[in-house]
């Protein structure tokens, strides 16, 4: 494994089986998640981005495929709320302890509810940010959900 992150340490402590996949992060890429999938030669259907949002004023972490957008209406409903919006990047960084482009659902500074798009559970393994720009981890989606006590819902625009 390459450099450890708070996310990979979190997974190790939880005895979750995963592999680390470093890649050359391009800060100028229009879509960082798609750039990561391409850099790792992985189909976008199994590469997931981590987005921080607020539902009725409460933070939520959403995990969706890199080639899809999140539906704020579906996210709000999945979290039991009425409205949702993205958290400002600086606030997301302060809350998670990660830099934008390196936010992971694992090992966040402040634990918040995590909602995985249901599409993740049709794959044997998915790639998710490991807690640093240029580092993805590959793991079983059910293990990813279990380790953060996440919820499964249809939250993408697809």
List the domain range (segments joined by +) for residue 96: 6-153
Average pLDDT rounded to a whole number, residues 130-142 = 96
Average pLDDT rounded to a whole number, residues 54-67 = 96
Q: Report residue 25's pLDDT band, with 50, 70 and 90 as the boundaries.
A: confident
Average pLDDT rounded to a whole number, residues 1-6 = 75
Residue 44 lies in a domain: yes
d(CA 104, CA 63): 9
Residue 1 lies in a domain: no
Q: Report residue 32's pLDDT band, with 50, 70 and 90 as the boundaries.
A: confident
Q: Which residue has the tokens 């302060």?
A: 94
- pLDDT in the model for residue 80: 96
Domain holding 20: CATH number? 3.90.960.10
pTM: 0.93
d(CA 39, CA 62): 23
Residue 29 lies in a domain: yes
Arithmetic mean of pLDDT over the chain: 94
Average pLDDT rounded to a whole number, residues 127-139 = 96
Residue 21 lies in a domain: yes
Average pLDDT rounded to a whole number, residues 106-125 = 96
Residue 84 lies in a domain: yes
- pLDDT in the model for residue 102: 93
Distant-in-sequence, close-in-space partners of 135: CB < 8 Å, separation ≥ 6: 2, 3, 5, 7, 8, 20, 21, 22, 23, 102, 129
For the chain, what is the domain count? 1
- pLDDT in the model for residue 2: 56
Average pLDDT rounded to a whole number, residues 7-15 = 96
Residue 158 lies in a domain: no
Q: Percent of the chain having pLDDT more than 90?
A: 86
């Amino acid at each position: 494994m390459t450099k450890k992150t708070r996310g990979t340490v979190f997974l190790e402590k939880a005895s979750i089986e995963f592999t680390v996949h470093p890649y050359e992060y391009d800060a100028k890429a229009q879509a960082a998640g798609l750039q990561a999938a391409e850099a790792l030669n992985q189909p976008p259907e199994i590469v997931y981005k981590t987005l921080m949002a607020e539902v009725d004023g409460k933070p939520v972490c959403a995990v969706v495929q890199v080639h899809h957008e999140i539906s704020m209406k579906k996210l709000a409903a999945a979290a039991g709320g009425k409205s949702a919006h993205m958290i400002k990047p600086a606030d997301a960084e302060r809350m998670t302890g990660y830099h934008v482009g390196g936010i992971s659902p694992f090992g966040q500074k402040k634990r918040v509810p995590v909602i995985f798009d249901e599409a993740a559970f049709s794959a044997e393994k998915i790639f998710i940010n490991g807690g640093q720009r240029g580092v993805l981890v590959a793991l079983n989606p059910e293990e990813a959900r279990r380790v953060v006590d996440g919820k499964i819902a249809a939250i993408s625009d697809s």
